[in-house]
Amino acid sequence: MKSIASIAVLAGLTFAAGAALAHDDAYLDTQKAPNGGQLRMAGPYHYELVLVKDAKEAKENPVVVYVTDHAGQKIPTAGAAGTATILAGKLKGAATLKPDGDNRMKGVAKYASMPGTKAVVSITLAGKQAEQARFTPLAVAKDTHTDHTH
């Protein structure tokens, strides 16, 4: 009986540890992204999407995605492939993402910088399955310290 209880406790701790590593969008929106973009979870990774913030008219603009683990450590993108679909107003832009440095994927898509912009990023790292994340990269991040006092 004692060993069954021990196994149950160990299994519970294992699942709790996995849940503790998960970050939801609301939490990630409170974090300062290292490259000025928006962070999202994509399976075991964090993707940081960086778009041009001042493109008044739709034109070809860079799309950059940084890939890290949950601790913020760089994940190499050599041999990776990806896509980014950007919806800005009535315009739908698509970028083919290619490795561009240590942990960076880069492409170009036609978009304008609009607060309601949405994006879907899918990246397949070498030897791994595709992981996807959804973004609202130009939405104004909420400051979580404005709703309460210390």
Q: Where are the domains of the chain?
A: 24-135
Q: Which pLDDT score is estimated for 28?
A: 75
Q: pTM of the entire structure?
A: 0.78
At 92, is the secondary structure helix, strand, or coil?
strand
How many residues can be counted in the chain? 150
Q: By 3-state DSSP, what share of the chain in percent is helix, strand and coil, each rounded to 5?
A: 15, 40, 45
Section 1-22 average pLDDT:
45
What does DSSP say about strands 81-88 and 59-68: parallel, antiparallel, or unpaired? unpaired
Class of the domain covering 24-135: mainly beta
Spatial separation of the C-alpha atoms in residues 19 and 138, rounded to whole Å: 28
Q: Is the pLDDT of residue 139 over 90?
A: no
Report pLDDT digits (tens) over 61-88.
999 999 999 899 999 999 999 999 999 8
Three-state secondary-structure class, residue 1: coil
